[in-house]
Amino acid sequence: MDLSQVEAAKEILKPLISQVPDTLYGLERMVHIGKVVTELEVENKLAIKNVIDSLILRMPEIDASDIDMGSSGCRGKVWYRVQGAKNPDPEAGEYSEAETDFMLLSIIMEKQQEYLWKERNVDFSYVVGSGENEHRLRGDMYFDLGHIALNMRLIGSEIRPFAGFNFHPEIAKALSLKYVKQGLVLVTGITGSGKSSTLDSIIDANNRSVDAHMVILGSPIEQVHPSIRCIVRHREIGADVMSFKEGAIQALRQDPDIIVIGEMRDPETIITGLEITDSGHKVFSTLHTSSAVESIDRIIGEVPAEVQGRVRERLAEVLTVVISQKLVKTLDGKRAMAKEVLMVTPSIRAAIKNNNLDEIYQMLQQGAKLGMVTMEQDLKRLLEEKKISYEEALNNANLKKRFKEIVQFSA
């Protein structure tokens, strides 16, 4: 990190900060700073932006997945997440709240600023470098006690090979357009559980094995997939299309075989996703849930009560696979993926339709022949392979009592 570059940017910012009226607070103050940043001379704006870029370029050097800065929460420091732990970096310099307000607003466009003023939050994609040295990030900028804060996640340039997930052959077939032409596949997990990486591997496997057309809707677009055997279209929400719902509806007129909906985040997107799957397409999406049963329950519970019956029926008909995953800390200080995999069988379809979700877990834990596995069973596997500790496995189990039982039974 070149601290002389930081000092040069601070010299540019000093008079700008002193000119911000003391009477402005919160949103009004940020709008004023946004206008100042937009009107900056290109040379000065680049000097400020280069500091952010340098901080980002430090990420691959220290094996960081995320960077955070801005507002009082960061205490004037730049924080990185390395191997799951987030800490301030003593070598990245220190910045006042006013400095980070200017610096962070310098990396988004005027339209993104307007969205930030309206929603107090904006998601965006960001690229540093070019060619072999290009790094792509997913950014989330938001308000924190009246100031601007930022998190950015580094998108890995290499896609994990699909074979590395060791999916059962029946599950692998269900994920491939070559064998199953339609249906809804969900990849779920909490934030930071690697959902996007898994989904990218599934997309890449299809891209390399079938001749088709794929439309990817993202907020923002993270991994850019080159067209190999598929034509791959990338449509970023807010830049290329206004919403997931509109993007999904428009995709139907673009002759797609596969539609990727970055996240089923609201009732409209959920209902639209089910409708386009029902129309004969293969749809991949993600949810912020920690188990297969919870994913089914969440989809039904998110929509208005008056349409839940219809959504339950449609979900039962179109859902094919649910992959729920967690990244757990290994004994050597790294992380390993534990996953729950559900293949929707006729019995599970009936359980969804009849709202007997409690029955699904039992069918899930007895479905090994089809490649099904519960989170508790997969954590037990990692424990037996001596990759994780008993405490780590227990902490990550969705059903802790059940985990204790299966470990005790096999002892």
Write out pLDDT tens, residues 35-60.
Answer: 999 999 999 999 999 999 999 999 99
Q: How confident is the model at residue 222 (pLDDT cuts 50, 70, 90)?
A: confident
Q: Do the Cβ atoms of 220 and 241 come closer than 8 Å?
A: no
- The token duo for 162 is 């699909």
Q: Do the Cβ atoms of 187 and 325 come closer than 8 Å?
A: yes
**Whether pLDDT at 394 is above 90:** yes
pLDDT of residue 4: 84
Residue of 5 and 102 predicted with greater confidence: 102
For 138-190, what is each residue's pLDDT tens digit? Answer: 999 999 999 999 999 998 778 999 999 999 999 999 999 999 999 999 999 99
Q: Do the Cβ atoms of 357 and 297 come closer than 8 Å?
A: yes
Q: How confident is the model at residue 410 (pLDDT cuts 50, 70, 90)?
A: low
pLDDT of residue 333: 87
Mean pLDDT throughout 123-136?
A: 86
For 258-297, what is each residue's pLDDT tens digit? Answer: 999 999 989 999 999 999 999 999 999 999 999 999 999 9
pLDDT of residue 131: 77
CA distance 298 to 100: 37
**Whether pLDDT at 342 is above 70:** yes
**Whether pLDDT at 340 is above 80:** yes
Percent of the chain at pLDDT exceeding 90: 88
**Whether pLDDT at 223 is above 70:** yes
Task: Provide the phi-psi class of 51: left if phi over 0, else alpha when psi is between -120 and 50, else beta.
Answer: alpha
pLDDT of residue 359: 94
Q: Which domains are present in the chain?
A: 3-155 (3.30.450.90), 162-410 (3.40.50.300)
Q: How confident is the model at residue 406 (pLDDT cuts 50, 70, 90)?
A: very high
pLDDT of residue 278: 92
Mean pLDDT of the chain: 94
Q: How confident is the model at residue 301 (pLDDT cuts 50, 70, 90)?
A: very high
- The per-residue DSSP string of 225-273 comes to PPPSSEEEEEEEBTTTBS-HHHHHHHHGGG--SEEEES---SHHHHHHH
Q: Torsion angle, CA of 57/61/63/67, rounded to 10 degrees? A: -30
Label the pairing between strands 183-188 and 319-329: parallel
**Whether pLDDT at 70 is above 80:** yes
| pTM exceeds cut of 0.95 | no
Mean pLDDT throughout 216-226?
A: 91
**Whether pLDDT at 13 is above 60:** yes
**Whether pLDDT at 302 is above 60:** yes
Q: 3-class SS at 87?
A: strand
- The per-residue DSSP string of 135-166 comes to EEEEEEEEEETTEEEEEEEEEPSSPPPGGGG-
Q: How confident is the model at residue 3 (pLDDT cuts 50, 70, 90)?
A: confident
Q: How confident is the model at residue 192 (pLDDT cuts 50, 70, 90)?
A: confident
Q: Which segment of 1-10, 25-34, 298-307 scores lowest on mean pLDDT?
A: 1-10
pLDDT of residue 132: 75
Percent of the chain at pLDDT exceeding 70: 99
Q: 3-class SS at 197?
A: helix
Q: 3-class SS at 388?
A: coil
